[in-house]
Amino acid sequence: MSGRVPVAVMISGRGSNMAALIEACADPAFPAEIVLVLSNREDAKGLETAAAAGIPTKVIDYRGKGSREAFEDAAIEALEEAGAEYVCLAGFMRLLSGHFVERWRDRLINIHPSLLPAFPGLNTHERALQSGVKITGCTVHFVRAEMDSGPIIAQAAVPVSDRDTAEALAARVLKLEHQIYPAALSLVTSGKARVAGERVILDEDTSELKPLAVPPMDG
């Protein structure tokens, strides 16, 4: 074995954040490796990307499982079987119950396309534009049972222009998502980020976040 921390990724669709994590983990110096990509949808595009990278994939279709708990038990079994120590949600579009979230407490990570606690839930970019905020961004956080909440590991920001559309904003934020998620996973799996109370305390040596310290103005 490589001695790296085994991580699973859960997706429902496109999987571009998953692809960014796969790319980061392709570097043998990265502290984590991806042992499973789990999807709740058979038609998730990301499954092809993962398989092409040689990563084991599994589909557990929620709709065929009767209850949320049955789906979550099957997911927990698959994640344990794969030996995952951490689970990254990457565009996983199902709400997970407290049962699942507590099983992975402080080892379940999500990315959300806003500067939480602003704009939890769907349609974040539309809502950001409507509200007139001048800065928005993305957040990587440990997951708690309440939707899009939990200790924040990393954030990155972009300026919002008056001429922005939701699509343009989404594309600009997504570029940052692809940087911040691997950076956050590196911090967590190398032990440089730890939960204290409901905050994440970072080590002083967090070189992973240096490229994110100043918001890029390339939009």
The yes or no reply on residue 125 touching ligand GRF (CB under 6 A) is no
Token pair for residue 41?
Answer: 């949808």
Residue 141 annotated among the catalytic residues of the structure: no
Site for ligand GRF in 140-199 (CB under 6 A): 174, 177
Least gap, CB of 203 to ligand GRF (angstroms)? 25
137 close to 156: Cβ distance less than 8 angstroms: yes
Interface with ligand GRF (CB under 6 A), residue from 41, 103, 112, 125: 112
Least gap, CB of 1 to ligand GRF (angstroms)? 28
Interface with ligand GRF (CB under 6 A), residue from 82, 111, 128, 140: 111
Residue 113 vs 204, nearer CB to ligand GRF: 113
The yes or no reply on residue 49 touching ligand GRF (CB under 6 A) is no
Residue 28 vs 216, nearer CB to ligand GRF: 216
The yes or no reply on residue 14 touching ligand GRF (CB under 6 A) is yes
156 close to 179: Cβ distance less than 8 angstroms: yes
Buried-exposed string 180-211: b where 16+ CB fall within 10 A, e elsewhere = bbbbbbbbbbbebbebeeeebeeeeebebbee
Does a cis peptide bond (omega within 30 degrees of 0) precede residue 215? no
The yes or no reply on residue 16 touching ligand GRF (CB under 6 A) is yes
How far apart are the C-alpha atoms of 9 and 109, rounded to whole Å? 9
156 close to 111: Cβ distance less than 8 angstroms: no
**Residue 100, amino acid:** F
* Active-site option among 99, 112, 125, 141: 112
Which residue has tokens 């949320």?
Answer: 68
The yes or no reply on residue 90 touching ligand GRF (CB under 6 A) is yes
Interface with ligand GRF (CB under 6 A), residue from 13, 31, 137, 150: 13
148 close to 108: Cβ distance less than 8 angstroms: no
Q: Which residues are catalytic?
A: 112
Residue numbers at the binding site for ligand GRF (CB under 6 A): 13-17, 90-91, 111-113, 174, 177
